[in-house]
């Protein structure tokens, strides 16, 4: 097995990891809440649409928005080392030489 290089986690990265875990739990809660509301409130109407449709109209974009926030935060707050960037298969010709 290869050796792992232990690095110091900055305060900024540690705060982001905490926020990311909260966002992940919130994203799962939004998904389950959307499903539950859409199943149980099919008979109630708001502005000529059922509550089930409103839950989908609000829940699906909210789920994607939280997902984009998680992806953006990972890119912004979790640093990648130059060695990791070079070893990825972005340039397969360099790997063969």
Break the chain into its structural domains and give their ranges: 12-96
pLDDT tens-place string over residues 41-86? 888 888 988 999 999 999 999 999 999 999 999 988 887 766 555 5
C-alpha 85/C-alpha 88 separation (Å) is 6
Which pLDDT does position 43 carry in this prediction? 85
Which pLDDT does position 1 carry in this prediction? 46
Please give the torsion angle defined by the CA atoms of residues 66, 76, 85 and 25, in that order, rounded to the nearest 10 degrees.
-30
3-state secondary structure of 91: coil
Between the alpha carbon of residue 53 and those of residues 36, 56, 59, the distances in Å are 12, 5, 10
pLDDT tens-place string over residues 15-48? 999 999 999 999 999 999 999 999 998 888 889 8
Position with higher pLDDT, 3 vs 28:
28
């Amino acid at each position: 097995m290869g050796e792992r290089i232990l690095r110091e986690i900055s305060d900024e990265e540690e705060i982001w990891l905490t926020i990311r875990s909260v966002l992940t739990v919130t994203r799962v809660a939004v998904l389950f809440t959307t499903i539950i509301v859409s199943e149980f409130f099919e008979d109630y109407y708001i502005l000529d649409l059922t509550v089930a449709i409103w839950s989908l109209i609000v829940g699906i974009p909210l789920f994607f928005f939280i997902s984009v926030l998680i992806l953006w935060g990972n890119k912004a707050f979790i640093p990648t080392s130059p060695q990791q960037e070079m070893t990825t298969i972005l340039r397969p010709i360099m790997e063969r030489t």
